[in-house]
Structure 1
Amino acid sequence: MKKSLFVAFVVSLGGFLFGFDAGIISGVMTYAGPEFNLDDLQTGWVVSSPSFAAMFSMLLAGGISDKIGRKKILILVAFLYALSAVLSAYAISYEMLYIARMIGGIAFGAALILAPTYIAEISTAESRGKLVSIQQLNIVLGFFAAFLSNYYFNEIFSSGESNFLTEANVWRWMLGVELLPAILYFILLFFVPKSPRWLFVQNRNEEAKEVLISMYGEVKAKEQTNTILNSLAGIEILSDEENVNLKDLFKPAMKLVITVGIIIGILQQITGINAIYFYATSIFKQTGIGTDAAFSSGVLLSTTTVVFTVISMFLIDKMGRRPLLLIGIMGIAISLLLCSYEFNNATYELTSEKISQLNFEGKEKLNVLVGTQFDSDVHFKKEMKTILGQQVYAKNDGAILEAAISMNATLVLIGILGFIACFAFSLGPVMWVMLSELFPNRYRGLAIGFIGFINGFVSWLVQQVFPWELSTLGNSMSFFIFGIIALIGFFILLKILPETKGKSLEQIEKDLVKA
């Protein structure tokens, strides 16, 4: 069991790097956006471009790994992470920055697919939920490390105590520090074995048995070997082809598992989780708490994520996948609608005193708005950009919103933390666990890759549209849309979601995949 824990943790370090990359960008854009004078669409593309690359990587990684193995692809993934960190830190233009981040996207797309696939294939039925959940734990630890790193760099820069950090390079340090965990990941991957179930599918039975013995001992290994070989013998009747194709996923026998997989894959991203993570600093600034407080709130957000992910790891093999998922999705809907409600009550007004306290050149232009109250964040921000210009407003939006807004920021913070907590014990870990379980051994890599592509596309779309959404629809409507989608998802899954707790992969296949 100790070895399986070590292997699961190492393999899922790709998740840590994904979480780190996703979390770090929310702080990076505070500085890089104004430096490159990015508009909403360009900001959205820098943030979302890794997800755009990842969705294609997800589509291909599973199928390729079915042919050449999970381990080889994961080693390549670690190298690409390191390359992306270096190129991002040295980006000299908007174009170089998003291309560097897309290289990282290729890496995390493959990692997010292959880690749960691999871990499920080395796990027993009793431990599979907990071990696959290590992927999500590593993702949220990556977020925590990123927000902590962002807070640290921002604090040093803001205090003026550093001689090496400037407004032009602070974001480069934020991005470059990812190189350290990427190198560690690359080295540790050489110490993990190949997937035993993949080896059996390749008819490399002796190698597979040796891996199982090293993981679980002679008795347990023999039991697992018999179960897997019996399952593969049954699958041979279904197809004489050496490789499966995408169209095979839509056979009548696969209807239930592919439907459940697609719905969960879409729902995990369309409720806006990556909009919250990737734009966390920006969202907290919208509440008027200020830039420094927004960075520290990001640390609180990531801490909440870690705590509730750990809770899910203890519950997932006890309560089961279905209860955790349904309770969590309902909590997500309530939390998002709470944020929408409070943002809808916000008002914005600048006074002469507040304007005098702002610290940037040209602030006196705002005096024309003294005595004017805005009930809409959309109208207020448009007026700010018209008076000050896009770049000046982008550099000072935290301070301006802090001076102008009147709302209950605590209620929004509770809503966001509630959303994060509910996601962390439901859609976050449970999706990857269920995707690793639902599909037969021979189809698993391709199926998870296909659903990963859909998941990645929705993730990219949400991230790309979110800055425009905030500017055009406003905070309240944006959160309202996410909340209603979560509510709809709850009722769909209430009807069709199966339970897979405590069953071997082969038993799940027997129960759910029927001709």
Structure 2
Amino acid sequence: MKQTVNISYVVFLSFVAAVGGFLFGYDTAVISGTIAQVASLFSLDSIQQGWFVGCALVGSIIGVMCAGVLSDSFGRKKTMILSAILFSVSGIGCAISGTFNELVFYRIIGGVGIGVVSIISPLYISEVSVPKYRGQLVSLYQLAVTVGFLGAYLVNYWLLQYSIDGAEKLTHPLMLKVFHTEAWRGMLGMESVPALIFFFIIFFIPESPRWLILKKKESSAKHILQRIYGNENDAQTELAATRAASHTETKSEWKFILKPGIMKAVLIGVGIAILGQFMGVNAVLYYGPTIFESSGLSNGDSLFYQVLVGAVNMLTTVLAMLIIDKVGRKKLVYYGVSGMILSLILIAFYFTQGEALGIPNLFLLICFLFYIFCCAVSICAVIWVLLSEMYPIKVRGLAMSIAGFSLWVGTYLIGQLTPWMLENLTPAGTFILFAVMCVPYMLIIWKLVPETTGKSLEEIEKMWDK
């Protein structure tokens, strides 16, 4: 019998959870416009600049280590509330920090929020979704991340222009400091606005029905499922399927993860999570303005180029969201990663031969935009969908934390090492390295990852058991 779905209600739940993705994107990308200013103010060398970028990623690693345990123990909703509080404290703290160490401390707090929300938001969306729309709805989270990227780039660009022309008229000493003499404070501090909005709107959504079933709160779960499906019969069917999937004789979550099929899924998740970070996307998102400046652009022009990168990232994610449940997860990876390899090689070619051949900066911009297009339509859209749907309900939070931990370790290493690589491997060598790392990623997806499009979470769990 065909299920009915109250799609407007499911979209509302997914939208609220996806606001966490916006904060993820903003906190991750806002750093790109502040590096030069902070480095100049505090006289940072290349290693210290890497630490300024990477310190938030240390927080992210802490966040993902805690997220699974917190969400499995206290629920998805309460854990999202915690992340909203962390983002709010981080934004305000960064704006008023007096020393570099204080700034690093508040960036780490924001990083913990990133780590928590990167696991819990897509997990929540996956658990309130239905198979037909799950890819699109979880991709809504990734879309929110890209909107956060673009929002950060626009705020950085606008505040830089405002600090040069207009902010000098401010009379309050703190406002003058935040928006004129040290505009990076305003860039980081603006995060507190969407963070507070996220905090309040979370109270308008229910707990994940699958988590409630796992905790034997079936009457509450059934009420939520009835709102999702619009009738009692479908709600009862889903409740029974989830109850059966969550029932197991293995008491320990760690022992369950060590089952051969489940361990294989966890290791694959770890592999694609960490490899994805060494394919260059976060290097571009964090250090885009720095890379553009190395090609001869001014600071203002490089920030404008980064706005274009953010716009392409967001618009391409909309495309990915529309086609992911039609084309399939694996095909998107094949097409997108092939394009990433080509664009990375062309970027390396520009940095080796561009000046000698008189190739204009526009060529570099086009290559970067094509790279972002290929990345956004494939690995960026697919990774969180796969991680949110490929694990059994009993250990979904814990398994996602393990995969998320590896992802953020990779992100931290890229954030920390990119300035060193650009300086010692040269930009060309750095982008060739990124291109090489695309190959094992595509092989893993091809040989080891099953196609999950159109399957229920319970059906996917049975695939790994086999």
Gaps of 5+ in 2: 1-6, 171-175
- Taking the aligned partners of 2:242 and 2:206, their CA distance within structure 1 comes to 18
* Paired position in structure 2 for 1:386: none
Shift of the 217–160 alpha-carbon distance from structure 1 to 2, 3 Å rule, reads closer
Relative to structure 2, which stretch is displaced further, 254-263 or 316-325? 254-263
- Deviation, 1:339, is 0.6
Deviations 1:482-514 (A, max 9, x none): 111113322332222210000000011112223
* Paired position in structure 2 for 1:8: 14
* Paired position in structure 2 for 1:74: 80
Q: Does 1:270 align with 2:278?
A: yes
5 Å-filtered alignment, 1:116-131, equals 116-131=122-137
Q: Does 1:185 align with 2:198?
A: yes
SS in 2 for 1:503: coil
* Paired position in structure 2 for 1:470: 422
Q: Does 1:171 align with 2:184?
A: yes
Letter in 2 for 1:461: L
Q: Does 1:231 align with 2:231?
A: no
- Deviation, 1:476, is 0.6
Letter in 2 for 1:481: L
* Paired position in structure 1 for 2:380: 428
Q: Does 1:309 align with 2:322?
A: no
* Paired position in structure 2 for 1:318: 326
- Taking the aligned partners of 1:220 and 1:162, their CA distance within structure 2 comes to 61
Higher relative helix content? 2
**RMSD over aligned Cα, in angstroms?**
1.7
Q: Does 1:414 align with 2:371?
A: no
- Deviation, 1:58, is 0.5
* Paired position in structure 2 for 1:361: none
User: For the Cα contact (< 8 Å) 2:167–2:180, is it kept in 1?
Assistant: no
- Deviation, 1:56, is 2.1
**Which structure has the greater CA radius of gyration?**
1
User: For the Cα contact (< 8 Å) 2:63–2:115, is it kept in 1?
Assistant: yes
- Deviation, 1:329, is 1.4
Deviations 1:349-405 (A, max 9, x none): xxxxxxxxxxxxxxxxxxxxxxxxxx9xxxxxxxxxxxxxxxxxxxxxxxxxxxxx9
User: For the Cα contact (< 8 Å) 1:342–1:408, is it kept in 2?
Assistant: no
SS in 2 for 1:442: helix
1:297 is aligned, of 305, 315, 323, to: 305
- Taking the aligned partners of 2:95 and 2:49, their CA distance within structure 1 comes to 17
User: For the Cα contact (< 8 Å) 1:89–1:175, is it kept in 2?
Assistant: yes
* Paired position in structure 2 for 1:449: 401
- Taking the aligned partners of 1:162 and 1:10, their CA distance within structure 2 comes to 37
* Paired position in structure 2 for 1:336: 344
- Taking the aligned partners of 1:102 and 1:410, their CA distance within structure 2 comes to 36
User: For the Cα contact (< 8 Å) 1:332–1:422, is it kept in 2?
Assistant: yes
- Taking the aligned partners of 1:113 and 1:191, their CA distance within structure 2 comes to 20
User: For the Cα contact (< 8 Å) 1:31–1:168, is it kept in 2?
Assistant: no
Relative to structure 2, which stretch is displaced further, 504-513 or 177-186? 504-513
- Taking the aligned partners of 1:250 and 1:232, their CA distance within structure 2 comes to 16
User: For the Cα contact (< 8 Å) 1:244–1:442, is it kept in 2?
Assistant: yes
Q: Does 1:201 align with 2:209?
A: no
Shift of the 263–74 alpha-carbon distance from structure 1 to 2, 3 Å rule, reads same
SS in 2 for 1:117: helix
Shift of the 161–437 alpha-carbon distance from structure 1 to 2, 3 Å rule, reads closer
User: For the Cα contact (< 8 Å) 1:14–1:111, is it kept in 2?
Assistant: yes
- Taking the aligned partners of 1:412 and 1:315, their CA distance within structure 2 comes to 28
- Taking the aligned partners of 1:224 and 1:478, their CA distance within structure 2 comes to 49
* Paired position in structure 1 for 2:3: none
Deviations 1:185-222 (A, max 9, x none): 00001111001000001111101101111222124322
Deviations 1:289-325 (A, max 9, x none): 2211111111100000011100011111111111011
- Deviation, 1:271, is 0.9
Relative to structure 2, which stretch is displaced further, 155-164 or 487-496? 155-164
1:244 is aligned, of 253, 259, 276, to: 253
- Deviation, 1:278, is 1.1
Deviations 1:314-342 (A, max 9, x none): 11111111101121111111111111111
- Taking the aligned partners of 1:311 and 1:220, their CA distance within structure 2 comes to 31
1:51 is aligned, of 42, 51, 57, to: 57
- Taking the aligned partners of 1:161 and 1:22, their CA distance within structure 2 comes to 25
User: For the Cα contact (< 8 Å) 1:329–1:426, is it kept in 2?
Assistant: yes
Letter in 2 for 1:168: T
* Paired position in structure 1 for 2:173: none
Letter in 2 for 1:429: A
2:287 is aligned, of 255, 258, 279, to: 279
5 Å-filtered alignment, 1:23-42, equals 23-42=29-48
- Taking the aligned partners of 1:507 and 1:488, their CA distance within structure 2 comes to 27
Q: Does 1:140 align with 2:146?
A: yes
Q: Does 1:503 align with 2:436?
A: no
- Taking the aligned partners of 1:440 and 1:487, their CA distance within structure 2 comes to 28
- Taking the aligned partners of 1:493 and 1:76, their CA distance within structure 2 comes to 34
* Paired position in structure 2 for 1:365: none
- Taking the aligned partners of 2:97 and 2:283, their CA distance within structure 1 comes to 24
SS in 2 for 1:506: helix
Q: Does 1:254 align with 2:262?
A: yes
- Taking the aligned partners of 1:284 and 1:250, their CA distance within structure 2 comes to 46
Gaps of 5+ in 1: 348-374, 376-404
- Taking the aligned partners of 1:197 and 1:490, their CA distance within structure 2 comes to 32
* Paired position in structure 2 for 1:492: 444
SS in 2 for 1:461: helix
- Taking the aligned partners of 1:226 and 1:251, their CA distance within structure 2 comes to 24
- Taking the aligned partners of 1:223 and 1:126, their CA distance within structure 2 comes to 16
Letter in 1 for 2:287: Y
* Paired position in structure 2 for 1:381: none
SS in 1 for 2:181: coil
* Paired position in structure 2 for 1:371: none
TM-score, normalised by the number of residues in structure 2: 0.93
TM-score, normalised by the number of residues in structure 1: 0.85
- Taking the aligned partners of 2:328 and 2:56, their CA distance within structure 1 comes to 32
SS in 2 for 1:288: coil
- Taking the aligned partners of 2:180 and 2:353, their CA distance within structure 1 comes to 35
